[in-house]
Amino acid sequence: MIDTILNHRTIRKYKNDPVDDHVINKILTAGIRASTTGNMQVYSIVVTTGQELKKKLWEAHFKQDMVLQAPVIMTFCADFNRFNKWCKLRKAVPGYDNFLSFFTAAIDALLTAQNCALAAESLGLGICYLGTTTYNAEIISELLNLPRNVVPVTTLVAGFPDESPELTDRLPLEAVVHHEKYTDYTKEDIDRHYFEKEALETTKALIKENKVETLARIFTEKRYTREDNELFSRKLLEIIKEKGFLT
């Protein structure tokens, strides 16, 4: 498992080969063994394999090709719908119409998703997380017929890889680990932690391609702009409220 984790690669190109149902079920079974708040399991997983629905999800996920290529799409949802209904049927009054409950369920869903990702990779499949799930949560919710108290929080595509990319760079351990208490970063710390990332030939090529001065400006001006962040923040908050988590 450690080797699987250390050799994780994001796969964006997939073969057409289908994934057997027993393999999918093994992945999902590993998923539901993830840690969960109070053993409530306040999440659901929607598995999509049909081409017609995949085409609609492809559009919702900004037309990323791996959504059509990968044979399996798993949408992980924060879900208090099932738990609330169980409570009411057992003469208990649920109090989960609030942001903390959404956040709790979202954490549960993400922990489950990572278990599924590791299981898929250990079985020879490739995976890719789709951050666009929260960008278009409302559209995805409609496509998947998600009821009140259910919000999509992340998506995994899975299938047999049709590429073998290099390992993606990571910041050094000392950049993200704080011992005992948080130690804020000095300018010298930032320069040291980001030195290798900024010195990569791939980074230099990205800077040239995007016609900017630094890698940081690619993030702030090209990939994750303030305007987009604010727009999608409003949209996500609206769907969280619409689904009954912000009364």
Residue 59 maps to a domain = yes
pLDDT in tens, 114-129: 999 999 999 999 999 9
Check residue 1 and give its pLDDT.
92
Rounded distance between C-alpha atoms, residue 32 and residue 44, angstroms:
10
Residue 171 lies in a domain: no
Counting residues of the chain whose pLDDT is more than 90, the rounded percentage is 100
What's the average model confidence in pLDDT over 198-225? 97
Residue 138 located in a structural domain: yes
User: 28-82: per-residue pLDDT in tens?
Assistant: 999 999 999 999 999 999 999 999 999 999 999 999 999 999 999 999 999 999 9
- Whether residue 107 is contained in a domain is answered as yes
Please report how many Cα atoms fall inside a 13 Å half-sphere around the Cα of residue 96, on the Cβ side. Answer: 26
Among 146, 140, 147, 129, which Cα is nearest to 54's?
140
Q: In this structure, is residue 224 part of a structural domain? A: no
Contact indicator for 42, 83 with CB cutoff of 8 Å: yes
CA distance 18 to 178: 43
CATH number at residue 141: 3.40.109.10
Contact 77, 44 (CB under 8 A): yes
Task: Please check whether residue 181 lies inside any domain of the structure.
Answer: no
Q: What is the mean pLDDT of the chain?
A: 98
Q: Is residue 206 part of a domain?
A: no
The answer to whether the beta carbons of residues 136 and 231 sit under 8 Å apart is no
Q: What's the token pair of residue 76?
A: 């992980």
Q: Which domain holds residue 111?
A: 2-165
pTM exceeds 0.85, yes or no? yes
Summarize the confidence of residues 167-181 as an average pLDDT: 98
Q: How far is CA 134 from CA 21, 82, 130, 229, in A?
A: 28, 21, 9, 11
At residue 231, the pLDDT reads: 98
Please give the tally of structural domains in the chain. Answer: 1
Q: pLDDT > 70: what percent of the chain?
A: 100
Reported as a single tens digit per residue, the pLDDT across 68-126 is: 999 999 999 999 999 999 999 999 999 999 999 999 999 999 999 999 999 999 999 99
What's the chain look like in SS3? CHHHHHCCCECCCECCCCCCHHHHHHHHHHHCCCCCHHHCCCEEEEEECCHHHHHHHHHHCCCCCHHHHCCEEEEEEEECHHHHHHHHHCCCCCCCCCHHHHHHHHHHHHHHHHHHHHHHHHCCCEEEEECHHHHCHHHHHHHCCCCCCEEEEEEEEEECECCCCCCCCCCCHHHHCCCCCCCCCCHHHHHHHCHHHHHCHHHHHHHHHHCCCCHHHHHHHHHCCHHHHHHHHHHHHHHHHHCCCCC
Asked whether residue 111 is domain-assigned, the answer is: yes
